[in-house]
Amino acid sequence: MLMLAVAVWCVGCSDHDGSTTPSNLLGDFDPTSDGEIQARIADLKLLLPEETYNIITEKSRNDPRCKEANRAQLGLPDSPNGQWYYTCDKLIEGMAKWKEFANEGNENTRKLEIAAFLANIAQETGAGKAMDPTFGGPGCFIQEGGGAARHGCGYGGCVKTPDFVGDRCKDNDDKCPGGDVGWCGRGPHQLSWNYNYQAFGKGMGKGDRYLDDPDLLTKNPEIGIAGSIWFWGHADLGSSKDPEKPFKPSAHDVAVGNWKPTDADKECGRTKADFGVIINIINGGLECGLGAVNPQAAKNRLDYFKAIAAEMGLTIPDDDPFLDNCSTQKNFAKCVSFPDPTSRCGKDWADANSNCRRCCSSDEDCSADSAEYPLCFGSLSNPTPSGETCSCGH
């Protein structure tokens, strides 16, 4: 029996990896004005003609298994998702809502960004290589686990019970109480976590609408697709609050070559703006670097990208430096772009603040050689409260 590869790795999940504060609007895409929407749609249709898109999505578009398990409960159509959600028109309309997407650089650069986006859709919500070994069957599922994760409380609590986190969530088998729903992955790239739903709503000028009703991303293709495009253009600032020093750059800035690696990035194996860095942004904690939990997923993304790009008329030589699968890159949480010159190891923040122990960028730096002081803390006093000057050499 042919089995579908239901995606379980979600954008918002990896976005949270190592980021200590909610997303905000700095560094995000700008919404397209109402007067410019039709022109954007026309331009995008030239870059991704419907006949090309239909070839790329042929395997998933008509397969009856590409449906949400909870479609009756949500009032979704009974037809495959590719026939009502992931249509070419709906995808183009969602893309057009953001001014910068596939709208920078020459035609090749704009096509390359679309191809990279579709390749990651194939891994996140596609049918998988079993059904479509060439393109990955992009546009098969909408929700994480095909709907199985809708009631999960592991992404910041639940809509009606936002405080249902931590031990309360775990003690209830990671499920929201009484049929309440959480902020699991929804849409092409599986937008996840309560703060991302909130930031997306603010970016769209809708306030807390999507935070309060995350199922709108499942029921309304334009909203769900727009949420994924928003995340594609979102630079996670982490705790820095400085758009010039993001925890992670946006996938858009990498795709169009706007992102430049810092010296620290280069030491982490992120030496240039390539496809591997985009994978790293989306799910580096699981797919990138030595010891990655799921390195095959990164290889899949690159395979899909090359096939989709070729179908779109892009010729990318096999030795092109953009074709990287992040196998030699450390993820952003373990190896940061902008090391904090005051980060030190300790057993808690007060302990680290008071002692000039080893400098660090992540807990991994500390736990490698100290069971007593295993955690990395930043924003520490220098000198310490006792007057000792600590130099981290950054």
Residues that are catalytic = 124
Task: State the Cα angle at 122 between 206 and 25, rounded to 5°.
Answer: 25
Number of H helices, E strands in the chain: 18, 2
Tell me the sheet residues that pair with 236. Answer: 248
Cα–Cα dist 236/66, whole Å: 31
Among residues 23, 20, 22, the alpha carbon closest in space to that of 375 is found at 20
Give the residue ranges of DSSP H helices in the chain.
11-16, 37-47, 50-56, 58-61, 71-74, 88-96, 107-125, 166-171, 194-203, 209-212, 216-219, 221-232, 251-255, 263-267, 275-287, 295-311, 349-354, 363-367
Residue 71: both structure tokens together = 């479609």
Structure tokens at 7: 């995606």
Q: What are phi and psi of 248, to 5 degrees?
A: -135, 140
Sole residue written with tokens 């992955």 = 185
C-alpha–C-alpha distance, residues 290 and 330, integer Å: 8
Radius of gyration of the chain from Cα atoms? Answer: 21
Q: Is 109 helix (H, G, I), strand (E, B) or coil?
A: helix
Tell me how far apart the alpha carbons of residues 112 and 101 are, in angstroms, rounded to a whole number: 11
